[in-house]
Structure 1
C-alpha cells in the first residue's frame, strides 16, 4: 500500500529526507488552461491590451514561480533547476490559452511541483492582466502531464476515455499531437525562448496548413516579436522548403539565413 510520504509515523507533516537518493536527471511537464470570451482572446493576440504583452508577462511569471516553489509549498525541497520553459498556446476552440510548463534538473527529488506551480502562476497572471476586460475567465486543466527520472521511473498522463470528451481532450503541446519547434541565433531573442511545442490542433483550428509555410505563418501571427523575412528551416535535421508537409512529432528548426562577406 502506498503511503503519504510527507507524513511521519505519528501522522505529522515533515519534509522527506532525500539525502540517500541518487542524483538523476529529472523532468516534469504540467498543464493549465484559461478559458475566456472570444473577444478577450482576440485582444490578447492583437497586442491591444492596455497592460502590454499578456503572453510574455505570463511566461516570465511562470518561470519565476517555478524557482520560488519551496517558498509557496511548505514541504517542497529547494531545487537547483537547470531549465524552465513555459509555453502558451492560443486555442480559438476553447476559446482561451493553453499553458504547458516543463522543468528539468539533475537532483535527488522530482520537479512535478515546480512544473505545476509554473503553469498555475502563468494562468493566474493571465487572469490578473485580463480581469478588467473579462471577469468570466475560468482557470482549469491543472495537472501533471509527464514525469521522467527517479526511482519510481517514467510516468505519462493518459486521459480516461470513459470520461466526457472535454475531460479527455488532448492537451495542447503534448508530444503525441505536437510539433517541436526550435529557434536559433537572434530568433531566440525575438521569441524569448529557444523552443516550444505547437499543438497540431492549434494550426488546424486556425485553418493553417500542416506545412512549414503554415507553421511559419501561425508563429508570426501568435508572436508579433518574430520579425518577418526569409528564414531557413530544417525538419528532423534535414533542410526543408516552405511546402514541406509536417506531421505530429516532427522537429522543426528555424534559423536566419547564413550570410558572408
Structure 2
C-alpha cells in the first residue's frame, strides 16, 4: 500500500496547498476517518516545528507531543476536529477548530482548558449488560447508563484523564453551533429552526447569527458548542493556509 497521497485529492479540511507539489504524506488509519490530517502536516507545514519527517519522528519519540492527553509517536496519526494538541516542552496548547472554508485551524488554549475534548454524538445504541454506547464523531465510544440524557446530535466534553463526561450540550433550537462542513464551514450561530424532513433525507437547520446574515445547512454539518469553543475568549484561530503554502519540504514524503 502506498504511503503517498496526491495533493489534489486530499479532503478540503487539510490545510495544505494542492498545486505546489504532486504528493504529500498520507494519514494512517485512526480517528476522524479520511478527513483526519496527518500529524506531520501540523508539525511541519502548519506550525513549523519540524523541517522534515525525520525531525518530526525525533520530536515525537520524546513523548512531549500529546493528542487528547495521550503521547503520540506516529507522525501519520490523523488529527481532526476538536482534538486537543499539547506541546509539553513548549507549554503550548491548541484546539483543532473549523476555519473558513472548512480547513482545520488551531485555536491557542490555556493549559486549564486543554484537559478535555469536545465530541459530537453520531450514534447511540444499547449493548449487552444494559449499558448504552455512544459513538462520537471521531470514532471514540463511551458507555453510559441506560436512561442517561444523551441523544444523537448532542455534544459532550470528555476528560482526557479518565474519559468521563464533564459537560453536555443538547442539540436543540437555541443551541450555539458551528458548521464543520459545507459552504458555511467555520461559521458560528444559534439554531433558530430544525426542519424535520420526511423520509430518509437529512433534516435542515436554520442558523441565525449576530450580524443578521444566518445560514441554512444540513443537520450532520453542525456541532453544538458553547462560547468557550469559539475562540472569542482566547486568541483567534490561526490562519494556517498561508503557513501551509510556505511549509518546508513541500513534497511531504521525504525522510
TM-score, with normalisation over the residues of structure 1? 0.26
- Point out the structure with the larger helix share: 1
Larger gyration radius, structure 1 or structure 2: 1
TM-score, with normalisation over the residues of structure 2? 0.26
- Point out the structure with the larger strand share: 2
